[in-house]
Amino acid sequence: MSLFAKAALAATSIFALSATAAQAAIVCDDEGECWHARGTIEYKPALRLHVHPDDWKWAGHERYRWREHEGHGYWRSGKWIEIK
């Protein structure tokens, strides 16, 4: 494999990894429920959700709890609401 081909492969790999990382986030609602969201994240402002970077951590005085779910949606009062 030529030096050019190796460099192109390395650049493509780095781009793919950075694009994947940019599509992840942590979302929390006003009730303290947080979950991981993947893909393009678009929530209406009326839902009052807070989108944080994937490496976000809450402070010691804050009280949140993890709730995971597959699909695109959000938690509200302990129930998963699917967005279609």
For 53-75, the pLDDT digits (tens) are 999 988 888 888 899 888 889 99
- The model's pTM is 0.64
Total domains in the fold of the chain = 1
Domain limits at 28?
24-82
Does residue 57 fall inside a structural domain?
A: yes
Query: In Å, how far are 14, 44, 78, 81, 84 from 75, measured between CA atoms?
Result: 34, 14, 6, 6, 14
**What is the chain's pLDDT, residue by residue, as a tens digit (84 residues)?**
665 444 444 444 444 333 434 478 999 999 999 999 988 778 899 999 999 999 998 888 888 889 988 888 999 988 999 988
